[in-house]
Structure 1
Amino acid sequence: MKKYTKWFLFLIVCSAIFLSVLDLFIVNVALPSIKTGIKGSDADMQLVIVMYIIGYASFLITGGRAGEYFGKKKVFLTGMLVFTIASLSCGLAQSAIQLNVARFIQGISGAFMVPQGMAFIPALFPGEKERIKMLGIYGSIAGTASVIGQFLGGLIPDLEIISQSWRLIFLINVPIGLTAVILGFKYLKELSVKTNGKFDFIGSLLLMLTLTAFIYPLIQGRELGWPVWSIVLLLFSGVLLLAFIYYQKLNIMKGSPLLIDPGFFKNTDFRIGLLISLFYYLVQDSYFLINTVNLQNGMGLSSARTGIYFVCQGIGYVMASMFFTPLVARYGKSVSLTGSVIMIAALLIHLVVFNSDHTPQLYIGMVLFVYGIGCGTILPSLMTISLKSIPEDQMGASSGIYLTLQQVSVAMGVAIVGGVFFSKLHHPVVAKQFAIAYKWATLMNIGFLVIVSVLLLLISKTKQDNS
């Protein structure tokens, strides 16, 4: 296969991760415009984010397995087509109910198309070094999509192209999705289906219910002050998890197909890579939460100014990912360790710069830029560390596990770190309380990144186990 053809096909499958991450972030800044456009409530706007995350996270493992049973190309194209139709439905929605149902379908379809996109990488680039490089680029595309999403989410609603321009944040997916479906149908070749037996629908249902019962109260519980129902639902998710594990053990005894193959966790890189990703993603979104609140409510900056500062972080991310991603194949975990150290140093500087009423605004932008460099250095390589030694035929299922853990970790980080932050704010809230709350929450994030660094050192000392 010619090199340019590989890259062309790579761009087609990358459309899945680009669109799925873009739609996760693009709504954040646009929520006020969406709320006005559909005459929704604050609760409706929370669900615009929550429904997408639940649909996406709850079906990622199922989506990864589906490709192994029904064909990765078929599942990829079906997921992309449904995602495109759901995006069109979001853009045309006339009520909050219509919008949130479409967002849920968006999340589910994203969960089916993304693991297939990742599964095509080892088929397109079978060499180990080349595969490591492309996994890193794939990860950097995901991070870049998050930056573009936040930028477009702030820009598009202010454009006067059409009435209620916020609809364009969903409608822009339609030409991209249709193009990916047409090109994928014409040029992608179906990968061999090696899995025998029936698809585990009961296991998929149990896992979906478990993740939904865990993620929904994690996101909504903190917002609502942890009502009783949220605690009960979290406990019930533990019961469902035990039921899922018991069902998987029954399938092992029967010799029936498994939704999550325990054999994946015999791979040393995969095990430790998941742990590293767990602690990193505890920091990822909780950082944006506490800094957004602190910059606006604690330091008195406008939302527009806050958005500009986060663009500085995004620029740092994109620049670092472009420079460091090609180095992952050569220097491996050293690149990731460099990124985690930069992030820790940047957060320590945050504690000084973001704790003063007289901090020059240029300093704030510079600190966020440095933090973005750290993120852009480590984030693209996390996926590579976890999946680099996974066999080609297991890439879809293992990537589903990885991405599910990613989403669960993000929700946990927002709940845990955000919970610490808001617990330090007492009524009536005064400026000094924000400084204290920010210090404790940021120290917690620094602690998580220290654990990431230690795990990176550990993985460098372990022998690779590709069994």
Structure 2
Amino acid sequence: MGRSISRWSLLALVSTAVFLSVIDIFVVNVAIPSIKVGIRGTDTDMQWVIVLYVLGYASFLIAGGRAGDYFGKKPVFVIGMAAFTLSSFLCGLSQNTIQLNIGRTFQGISAAFMVPQGISYIQVLFQDQKSRTKALGIYGSIAGAASVIGQFLGGVLPEIHSFVEGWRLLFLINVPIGIIAIGLSIKYLENTVIVRTQKFDSLGAALLVLTLACFIYPIVQGRELGWPIWIFILFGLSILIALFFFWQQRRRQNKGKLSLIDVSVFKHRDFTIGLFASVFYFMVQDSYFLINVVLLQNGFGINSFDTGLYFVFQGVGYVIASLLSIRLITLYGKFVLIFGVMLMVVSLIFHLWLLDGSAATRPFLPLVFFVYGIGCGTVLPSLLTVSLRNLPSSFAGMASGTYSTFQQTAIALGVGIVGGIFFYILKNPHRKLETYLEAYKAATITNIILLLIVAVFLLFISHKKAK
């Protein structure tokens, strides 16, 4: 069926994928203490609620992008959206942590298939450079708005006491949006040309999933299990599988077959440095929310609504800075990113100073959260741009998928490591505010160190675009 609505309306339609995927990250980040109480989970269970979503996303993101070329973007988008809607519904009905985390895993996997199609449709719908740039800007703004809305809803929804527990609404709210998006997509989206010149790399996809699972599981679960020897064996196994994966990818390329990752992309210096910088940056991304939310709600006893409002200030700062940084990056390059990273570091130092248990300092918290958001918004939207800037255009699509996979893996890694440090200090069942503050200090200092490493990597990226 030919489309009978404007391409800008179609942009809004395909952008529901990134809207739902982003909002589902931030809404859970803010509401994690409420989910823990509602589902009667442990600290490790709550780490998994965050980790399994991003791990499922990271494991299948490259495969999800390839699937759109192989099976057509419309069916993959619709099926991905349907799977995301169904898994959200199952999360909302969960009766225990196992059910919830299974649902979260499938949320992440389905997001990995629907989001790349939304981005690809922009390339199809907007052929000229001017309109495509505008469309990508709108798409990015929708993602930014989703982060702010998610932080607000993460505070508001758990406070609602109606026919269903408030924390369940965090997931059930996706259902009507998903159903509407599915119906409109079936009616208005046109399918794209299917490319099946080569067999899909199913072995590579399986190896990537296995690598990430064996790598992240020991980091998150080891603390609660007491670090048995088999945990370290599993971690070592992940390294061996990763080496085999890259060998298998190179072998397929040498034979002229389709691979998930073109390993020759790592020969490009700026991309590789940018990739390392992004790994350390995204280790801070969600671990920051986790430790701050737990401190504010469980340590200080601030309700989820007020906690959500604090993070709205952070989100507003992010959106404002992201709009400005896109323009500044063309003038000042990597120095914009370095400034943003150092602003985050300074803000975290003020976090440590103000979050000392004294109620007298709390009126200053919105400003500190806002400044942290300014730093995030200065770095995050442009980190990928700087990393890909000197890469040949033939690598752009594949490199973007590789970057996103490392990004999501780093989020899981940060929640596992930084969150693990935080909860290790909190292992005493008779927790006092002093214990929360000690745990927060250790975890935040870790995040400061990670950000300083990011700044060092950025110093080695080329300042200007190569001619």
Taking structure 1 as the reference length, what is the TM-score of the superposition?
0.83
Corresponding letter in the other structure for 1:232: I
How far is 1:86 from its partner?
2.2
Who is 2:337 aligned against?
336
Distance 1:270 1:13 in 2: 28
Please, which moves more after superposition, 428-437 or 348-357?
428-437
Distance 1:203 1:275 in 2: 22
How far is 1:98 from its partner?
4.2
Q: Percent identical across equivalent pairs?
A: 53
How far is 1:431 from its partner?
6.1
Distance 1:95 1:417 in 2: 25
- Mapped contact 1:115–1:397 kept (Cα < 8 A): no
Sort the Cα spacing of 1:329 and 1:139 in 2 relative to 1 into closer, same or farther, 3 A.
farther
Who is 1:449 aligned against?
451
Deviations 1:124-158 (A, max 9, x none): 44566765665555445434323322321332233
Confirm whether residue 243 of structure 1 aligns to residue 244 of structure 2. Answer: yes
- Mapped contact 1:318–1:376 kept (Cα < 8 A): yes
Distance 1:389 1:177 in 2: 38
Who is 2:363 aligned against?
362
Deviations 1:97-119 (A, max 9, x none): 54433332222111111122222
Q: What is the correspondence of 1:190-269 to structure 2 with a 5 Å cutoff?
A: 190-194=191-195, 196-222=197-223, 224-267=225-268
Corresponding letter in the other structure for 2:266: F
Sort the Cα spacing of 1:149 and 1:219 in 2 relative to 1 into closer, same or farther, 3 A.
farther
- Mapped contact 2:51–2:415 kept (Cα < 8 A): no
Who is 2:302 aligned against?
302
Please, which moves more after superposition, 79-88 or 258-267?
258-267
Who is 2:350 aligned against?
349
How far is 1:245 from its partner?
2.3
Q: What is the DSSP-based 3-state SS (H/G/I as helix, E as strand, rest coil) of the residue aligned with 2:197?
A: coil
Who is 1:459 aligned against?
461
Who is 1:282 aligned against?
283
Q: What is the correspondence of 1:375-390 to structure 2 with a 5 Å cutoff?
A: 375-387=376-388
Distance 2:459 2:147 in 1: 28
Q: What is the DSSP-based 3-state SS (H/G/I as helix, E as strand, rest coil) of the residue aligned with 1:360?
A: helix
Corresponding letter in the other structure for 2:218: P
Distance 2:398 2:90 in 1: 29
- Mapped contact 2:51–2:412 kept (Cα < 8 A): no
How far is 1:435 from its partner?
5.5
Distance 1:457 1:195 in 2: 42
Please, which moves more after superposition, 206-215 or 177-186?
177-186
Corresponding letter in the other structure for 1:302: I
- Mapped contact 1:65–1:397 kept (Cα < 8 A): no
Distance 2:294 2:166 in 1: 26
Please, which moves more after superposition, 15-24 or 120-129?
120-129
Sort the Cα spacing of 1:283 and 1:39 in 2 relative to 1 into closer, same or farther, 3 A.
closer
Sort the Cα spacing of 1:195 and 1:399 in 2 relative to 1 into closer, same or farther, 3 A.
farther
Corresponding letter in the other structure for 2:257: S
Who is 2:174 aligned against?
173
Corresponding letter in the other structure for 1:345: V
Who is 1:86 aligned against?
87
Sort the Cα spacing of 1:131 and 1:272 in 2 relative to 1 into closer, same or farther, 3 A.
farther
Confirm whether residue 415 of structure 1 aligns to residue 416 of structure 2. Answer: yes
Corresponding letter in the other structure for 2:282: Y
Distance 1:100 1:422 in 2: 19
Corresponding letter in the other structure for 2:184: L
Give the root-mean-square deviation of aligned CA atoms.
3.7
Deviations 1:399-443 (A, max 9, x none): 332221111111222333344556667968776666565455434
Sort the Cα spacing of 1:363 and 1:29 in 2 relative to 1 into closer, same or farther, 3 A.
closer
How far is 1:176 from its partner?
1.8
Deviations 1:154-205 (A, max 9, x none): 3223324533344332222122223323333444444444562100111111
Who is 2:18 aligned against?
17
Taking structure 2 as the reference length, what is the TM-score of the superposition?
0.83
Please, which moves more after superposition, 267-276 or 37-46?
37-46
- Mapped contact 2:85–2:174 kept (Cα < 8 A): yes
How far is 1:311 from its partner?
3.0
Corresponding letter in the other structure for 1:55: G
Sort the Cα spacing of 1:216 and 1:423 in 2 relative to 1 into closer, same or farther, 3 A.
closer
Corresponding letter in the other structure for 1:339: G
Sort the Cα spacing of 1:211 and 1:129 in 2 relative to 1 into closer, same or farther, 3 A.
farther
Deviations 1:55-79 (A, max 9, x none): 2221112112222322233322221
Please, which moves more after superposition, 323-332 or 99-108?
323-332
Confirm whether residue 158 of structure 1 aligns to residue 154 of structure 2. Answer: no
Corresponding letter in the other structure for 2:302: S
- Mapped contact 1:251–1:258 kept (Cα < 8 A): yes
Who is 1:101 aligned against?
102
Q: How many residues align?
A: 462
Corresponding letter in the other structure for 1:452: V
How far is 1:237 from its partner?
1.0
Structure 2: gaps spanning 5 or more residues: none
Corresponding letter in the other structure for 2:9: F
Please, which moves more after superposition, 281-290 or 392-401?
392-401
- Mapped contact 1:204–1:259 kept (Cα < 8 A): yes
Please, which moves more after superposition, 92-101 or 232-241?
92-101
How far is 1:26 from its partner?
2.3
Sort the Cα spacing of 1:89 and 1:389 in 2 relative to 1 into closer, same or farther, 3 A.
farther
Deviations 1:82-103 (A, max 9, x none): 2122223333445555443333
Q: What is the correspondence of 1:46-195 to structure 2 with a 5 Å cutoff?
A: 47-93=48-94, 96-125=97-126, 134-135=135-136, 137-194=138-195
Structure 1: gaps spanning 5 or more residues: none
